[in-house]
Amino acid sequence: RKRCIRISTGSKQLDAALNGGFQTMSINEVYGEFRCGKTQLAHTMAVIAQLPKEMGGAEGKVAYIDTEGTFRPERIMEIAERFGVDPDQACENIAYARAQNTEMQTELLDGLAANFATNEYRLLVIDSVMSLYRTDYVGRGELSERQQVLGQFLRRATQMAEEFNLVVLMTNQVMSDPGASALFAGVDGRKPAGGHILAHASTTRLLLRKGRGEERVAKIVDSPDCPEREATYIITTGGIND
């Protein structure tokens, strides 16, 4: 039987709030407004996942599906330096792919099964999960079709997380669209995109927001084993930190 592993976020406070970090064999969703650090967290974890277990890692490779074109190898290299690992090696251990539409997003996920079958991978990043669904399916008329296709994608991701012992880290946007917000009850007035389908697929949900000054705040809004609580973190050259 596969054993569940936790991967550190880069922030000790946030790790403590999460009982040690994000767990493999589950979908972890991080949502919040722009510039809260979702992509920075994805970059940070893409390095930490490669580290030894004593350092909060999983000694694994990383798959990274980028839907917004915000992946930066230079950031991976800077974060690698913080943890004392070879920057080029850190980049080589990340299988990167850019998705341009939802069909490609699904194809890329399916294609990664071959990578995951090597049992070398411990983290799958999808940054962000909903952005292409929101541009490919516009308006209420297409919402039910969108949710159906999204559900298939999420079932596949869940299955892969369990079969291949992966942390699936999905970032998500908050909705500003008033029509949609009436449809999906929100959390603290900030509603993640994706509705009930995504809410049910996510094992752990984290809401990120700006705090005082440089500070950012993460709130655990849904977790199988953590109470609802907050932790602060900052974004540095070396990635997410305390």
Which residues of this protein are in contact with ligand ADP, per CB under 6 A?
32, 34-40, 235-237
Paired strand residues for 31: 172, 207
Shorter beta-carbon distance to ligand ADP: residue 35 or 53: 35
39 binds Mg ion (CB under 5 A): yes
| Residue 237 binding: pick among ligand ADP, Mg ion, none (C-beta 5-8 Å cut-off by kind) | ligand ADP
Paired strand residues for 169: 28, 125
204 binds Mg ion (CB under 5 A): no
Q: How far apart are CA 214 and CA 150, in angstroms?
A: 35
Task: With CA atoms as reference, report the closest residue to 129 among 171, 165, 74, 190.
Answer: 171
111 backbone φψ class: left, alpha, beta (φ>0; ψ -120 to 50): alpha
Shorter beta-carbon distance to ligand ADP: residue 105 or 131: 131
Task: With CA atoms as reference, report the closest residue to 166 among 111, 201, 220, 120.
Answer: 120
Shorter beta-carbon distance to ligand ADP: residue 171 or 204: 171
| Residue 40 binding: pick among ligand ADP, Mg ion, none (C-beta 5-8 Å cut-off by kind) | ligand ADP
Shorter beta-carbon distance to ligand ADP: residue 19 or 237: 237
| Residue 236 binding: pick among ligand ADP, Mg ion, none (C-beta 5-8 Å cut-off by kind) | ligand ADP
8 binds Mg ion (CB under 5 A): no
Q: How far apart are CA 7 and CA 21, in angstroms?
A: 5
